[in-house]
Amino acid sequence: MRQADSPARLVVVVAHPDDEVLGCGGLIANHAAHGLGVHVVCVADGVTSRHGATEVDAERREQECLRALRVLIGLPGRVTFLRHADQRLGTMPVAVLADRIRYEIDQHGPSVQTVVTHWIGDLNQDHRVVAEATLLALRPDRVPQDLAIYGCEVPETTRIGAQAFCPTTYVELSPAIQTRKELAMQEYGSEVRSDGFRNQRGIQAASLARGYESGRQFAEAYVLYRSVEGVQP
C-alpha cells in the first residue's frame, strides 16, 4: 500500500505551514521511509497578520507546504489546512479548536500511534494555543491508552523566553533524512531567511546540536507529553 493511501500512523498538528518541517520534518520523513502514513494539520495560514498580506500569499504558503511534504515523503502528502487567521488563534475558544483537531485525528481511527504538536511553552502565541488545544482534544478519557503525544521545538521560538525547552526524547536522523529536511525547507521560498534557523545551514546546525546531545550525528528533540512503556515516535 502506498504511503499516501495508507492509514496515518503519525498525525502532526502545527500552527503554520513550515512548522512541520522545522519541528518534525525528520520524523515525518522517517515514517514515510518505513511506509507509514502521515497526516499533517496546519491550523492557521501563517501570513495574514503581516502588513499587506493577501489571500494570494496564504495560497502560496499552502502550495509551498505541499511541495515540502512531497520532498519529505516522496509522494503527495496528506495535509489539512484549517485556514484560521495568523496570530488570531488566541481569540477563539480553545474547546472549539480542540474539537476540530480531534475530528482530524479521529478520521484515521486506531491506526494513529503518535501525535506531534508544539511545545506548550513556545514563545509564539499560535504555537501555544495549538499545543493546548491538541492536548485538550487528546485528554486521557478520550483517546486510546497507547497513543503517544509529543511536543516539538521550533528553534527560533523555543530557544528563547522564560521557559527552557528541555527535551525528553530524541529521534535520530540519518544523513539522507537530514538532507530531505533541509531540502524541504527550501520549498518555503517565502519563509527562507539568510540568518537564524530558516535556512539550510540553520536547520543543519539545530540537528547537529541535538545530535551531539544524544550521541548521534543528527537528531530532533521532543518533549514527551504522554506515552506508555514501549511506545516511541
Q: Is the pLDDT of residue 2 over 60?
A: no
How many Cα atoms occupy the beta-carbon half-sphere of 190 within 13 Å? 19
pLDDT for the residue numbered 161: 64
Q: Give the model's pLDDT for residue 233.
A: 57
Q: In the chain, where are the structural domains located?
A: 8-224
Span 87-145, pLDDT tens digits: 899 999 999 999 999 999 998 888 899 999 999 999 999 999 999 999 999 988 776 66
- Predicted local confidence at residue 159, as pLDDT: 76
| Amino acid 23: pLDDT | 96
CATH assignment of 8-224, among 3.40.50.10320, 3.40.50.970, 3.40.50.150, 3.40.640.10: 3.40.50.10320
Residue 181's pLDDT is: 97
Q: What is the pLDDT of residue 204?
A: 94
**Grid coordinates of 135:** 492536548
Q: How high is the mean pLDDT of the chain?
A: 89
Residue 1 reports pLDDT greater than 70: no
CA–CA separation, 118 vs 229, rounded Å?
22
Given a cut of 80, whether residue 6 has pLDDT beyond it is no
Contact status, residue 150 vs residue 114, Cβ threshold 8 Å: yes
| pLDDT, tens only, 210-226 | 999 999 999 999 999 99
Phi, psi at 134, each rounded to 5°: -65, -45
Question: Which residues is 151 bridged to in the sheet?
Answer: 117, 223
Interior/surface letters 183-205, b for 16+ CB within 10 angstroms, e for the rest = bbbbbbeebeeeeebbbeebbbe
Confidence of residue 76 (pLDDT cuts 50, 70, 90): confident
Q: What is the mean pLDDT of residues 158-177?
A: 88
Per-residue pLDDT at 126: 96
Q: What is the pLDDT of residue 94?
A: 96
State the amino acid at position 127 in one-letter form. Answer: H
Sign of the CA dihedral with 8 first, then 12, 16, and 18 last = negative
| DSSP tag of 182 | H
Could you tell me how far CA 164 lies from the centroid of its own chain?
19
- Name the band, by pLDDT with cuts 50, 70 and 90, for residue 9: very high
Q: Is 177 exposed, middle or buried (0-12, 13-18, 19+ CB in 10 A)?
A: buried
Give CA–CA dist 71/230, Å, rounded. Answer: 30
pLDDT digits (tens, 9 = 90+) for 190-205: 777 777 788 889 999 9
Which positions ≥6 away from 91 have C-beta within 8 Å? none
Tell me the average pLDDT across 38-65.
87
d(CA 124, CA 122): 5
Percentage of residues of the chain with pLDDT beyond 70: 92
Instruction: Measure the CA–CA gap between 199 and 171, rounded to whole angstroms.
Output: 21
